A = this chain, B = another copy of it.
């Protein structure tokens, strides 16, 4: 007979069984002791806890997830992590959900519908407990996938009414900007919008018209440009506007990137802000406390700040509450914005 080989005490992670064996008890009892639910003799409970600590036992989240069908993980989709607006939103989400024991799967979609679908599919495969969509325009296939998926909260863009949604008060933001410009005497005001598939972009544009009318100002359709949120569209818009007579005295941009494009183009043709023309942005990309320096405020762009961190936190809260009440009606959280007057707006030039 071959001599029995004593098994080497392997370095593998200990399991419930190891503790059970060590304590001379059953898995069930050990499980009850460690989870704290169910009856276990006090002394044994202590013994179990001690051996667990001694062996360095950690419960396998994978096994637990398989059994309970909950993973304590949430997926977050953003367009591009290097766009400074998103990290702050993600941070807000993280602060809330991680305090509840959830870990974040973060993925960039790069505004690519294919990629969006692939990522959502992968998140569903991983059975995340919830998903947060930040500034995502949903592909049809994504929508279909989500129908049978876990709870989902939308930030900044809303595919349709009735979903859980968190966004800035776009209408109030536009109003703040227009009131500011009105106060400086501007009347001939241009607007560069974002893409029409973004609900936030549509809201801003729509309210630009409403708000102009409310101020008794007319919107010259030649001074409304359909952009795409990127710098280049700002430059193109500015070029187009400069060909219109009379020229606008102020330009509202749908976001800060676009405003930068506008300012850049104007400089390139020898026009200065705010002396020759006023320009405003939206978002206030760099309001991170880390960079609290005027130098960093995007060359002093007058803009409207949206509370990115708070948007994230609100989204996180909405998601957690949704996990507790899957059938409650969808909710909408709209957070106020703040006017940040810097150096790209000034009184209208007499002439």
Contact = CB atoms under 8 A, between A and B. Distances in A.
B107 A104 contact: yes
Contacts of A98: 107
A155 to B, nearest CB: 15
Given A71-B62, A122-B103, A80 B127 contact: no
A76 to B, nearest CB: 9
A114 interface: no
A172 interface: no
Contacts of A299: 295-296
A127 B64 CA distance: 13
A71 B127 CA distance: 13
A12 to B, nearest CB: 9
Interface stretch (A23-31, A85-93, A190-198): A85-93
Interface of A: 11, 58-63, 65-66, 71, 73, 80-84, 87-88, 90-91, 94, 98, 103-108, 121-127, 148, 231, 257, 260, 263-264, 288, 290-293, 295-296, 298-299
Given A94-B108, A126-B103, A148-B11, A295 B62 contact: no
Contact of A290 (B80, B293, B296): B80
18 contacts: A59-B125, A62-B62, A62-B66, A62-B127, A63-B66, A80-B290, A81-B87, A81-B94, A82-B91, A98-B107, A103-B107, A104-B106, A231-B290, A257-B291, A260-B291, A260-B295, A260-B296, A296-B299
